[in-house]
Homo-oligomer: A and B are copies of this chain.
Amino acid sequence: MTRIDLHPDRLLPAEPARREVARRLYETVRGLPIVSPHGHVDPVLLQQDRPFDNPAALFITPDHYVTRMLHAHGVPLTELGIPRRGGEGGVADPRQTWRRLCERWDAFRGTPSRYWLEAALVQVFDVPIRPSAADADLIYDRLMERFALPEYRPRALFDRFGVEVLATTDAPCGDLSAHRSLRDDPSWKGRVVPTFRPDAYLDPSLPGWAGRVEQLGSAAGIDTAAYRGYIQALEARRAFFISHGATATDQGPPDAGSVILAPTEAAQLFARALRGTASPEERRTFRQHMLCEMARMSCDDGLVMQLHPGVFRNHHPPTWRDFGTDIGADIPVAIEFTRALQPLLDLYGTHPNFRIVLFTLDETTWSRELAPLAGYYPSVYLGAPWWFLDTPDAMLRFRAAVTDTAGFAKTSGFVDDTRAFCSIPVRHDTARRIDCAHLSRLVVEHRLDEDEAVETAIDLAHRLPREVFRF
């Protein structure tokens, strides 16, 4: 059995002078509350506050970082507990699924998944054993013991993690009952807010769009058969989300293209799309127009706009047909922002109420496009490194690439974007350590005084996400 020891200086730079500065900076931010402005935790988890089912259901099946790597090493998705569409096929034995992970633990060397999972084992569940084929069952059993205890239930962990506010991601037609029920629960003191995620309602190219437009009408109580009603229904649902605490929207289109259409033109495209007679190009134009419409609504209602573009979703159709979406088969593509967002920013870029946070999976845009945009437009903020880039090395590259042109104050602060509830504290802690590592270099190279580095570390860990996302 190999014990996992989390070194207190982990992720901090090795050079002694830098490490000393980095340590001092880190001490000032390590205990700050967690602000989580974007993620995929299910609010029902906190509403119901049930014990976790088992280690596989907590750590493997819902985490596509983990399932994709095991799949890459030849483990079938069925063995990872991922249900087939339609539900046929037996459910995997969770202990077997857990063994699959532990047997291939070496495949995760050097990856953030490993770093996060080890931290969760040690810090969240006090099971400091390195996963291996030999110790898989031992770890499984220890975790099951923990799960049964009240102090390992979701609400207790939420408190222990020190979460000040947690934003979820929600469908526009959802009734937000879990959020409401939490808010109205006198025994619950936490803050969990919804985020308006309308992609599926804005892109006529997505299967089932027309049906969802009708649902939208039902949810809003507004007839969406014509464009005007469709727009009003979206506005109504945004208002409903705001009344439940939402401060932001989130969109993940394939590209960052924006188009301004006259209302009559937009109405015609909408009608054609609804009838199914719009060409692929017309459907794309309508989707890019709706990005601008969402920006316009943000000017009106103040919801912060998050943009997460540039992913080829469901890259392997056979897997998508069998298992559906979000199982790890999404692959980034090169993306362009400068020309794509120009129409939108021409209209709204200096609007005093508008705010847009730009995320990318294409690192090349950091120094070339995103930092220059955020360093000019008052409305534009640069989102934290996202998804495949949410890692120690990529975070360091991010700061080195964007600070010259955008400084620190036009970046969003950390965004964990996670489905893995128990990884929230380690992810935020990672960002804090890495930001301190970056700042320590500026200090020892005499590019920033230490008093200012301290202020900056606190800004990045706490002040900026609160302010940028209008909490």
**Shortest distance in angstroms between A411's beta carbon and chain B's nearest beta carbon?**
10
Inside 8 A of A369's CB, which chain B residues have their CB? 331-333
**Shortest distance in angstroms between A281's beta carbon and chain B's nearest beta carbon?**
17
- Complex interface residues of chain A between 90 and 109 (CB less than 8 A to chain B): 106-109
The contact of A448 among B110, B393, B409, by CB within 8 Å, is B110
A364 touching B9, Cβ below 8 Å: no
Q: What mask results when residues 354 to 370 of chain A are scored 1 for a CB within 8 Å of chain B, else 0?
A: 00000001111001110
A383, CB-defined interface residue at 8 Å: no
- Complex interface residues of chain A between 368 and 418 (CB less than 8 A to chain B): 368-369, 371-378, 380, 388-389, 391-394, 397, 400-401, 403-410
How many copies of this kind of chain does the complex include? 3
B13 touching A445, Cβ below 8 Å: yes
A111 touching B403, Cβ below 8 Å: yes
Q: Complex Cα distance A449/B7, Å?
A: 11
A188, CB-defined interface residue at 8 Å: no
The 10 closest A-B CB pairs, nearest first, are: A7-B446, A10-B446, A391-B404, A14-B444, A110-B403, A393-B400, A331-B338, A68-B376, A331-B372, A333-B338
Inside 8 A of A378's CB, which chain B residues have their CB? 71-74
Inside 8 A of A361's CB, which chain B residues have their CB? 368
With a 10 A CB-CB cut-off, give which of A14, A110, A368, A397 has the most chain B CB atoms.
Answer: A110
Q: Which chain B residue has the least Cβ–Cβ distance from A438? A: B110
B72 touching A375, Cβ below 8 Å: yes
Inside 8 A of A346's CB, which chain B residues have their CB? 316-318
**Shortest distance in angstroms between A58's beta carbon and chain B's nearest beta carbon?**
22
**Chain A residues near B (Cβ < 8 Å):** 2, 6-7, 9-18, 68-69, 71-74, 106-112, 115, 130, 312, 315-319, 328-334, 336, 338-339, 342, 345-346, 349-350, 361-364, 367-369, 371-378, 380, 388-389, 391-394, 397, 400-401, 403-410, 441-442, 444-449, 452, 455-456
Inside 8 A of A6's CB, which chain B residues have their CB? 446
Q: Complex Cα distance A12/B130, Å?
A: 29
With contacts A109-B452, A442-B110 known, is A345 near B332, CB below 8 A?
no
B408 touching A109, Cβ below 8 Å: yes
The contact of A388 among B74, B363, B372, by CB within 8 Å, is B372
Q: Complex Cα distance A326/B68, Å?
A: 40
Complex A-B: 12 CB contacts under 8 Å? A7-B446, A69-B375, A71-B378, A72-B410, A106-B452, A111-B403, A315-B376, A318-B346, A331-B376, A332-B338, A362-B368, A397-B400
Q: Which chain B residue has the least Cβ–Cβ distance from A453? A: B109
* Known A74-B378, A315-B376, A334-B336; further 4 A-B contacts with Cβ < 8 A: A11-B445, A14-B441, A71-B378, A392-B404
A377 touching B316, Cβ below 8 Å: yes
A316 touching B388, Cβ below 8 Å: no
Inside 8 A of A375's CB, which chain B residues have their CB? 68-69, 72
A14 touching B404, Cβ below 8 Å: no
Q: Which chain B residue has the least Cβ–Cβ distance from A403? A: B110
A448 touching B109, Cβ below 8 Å: yes
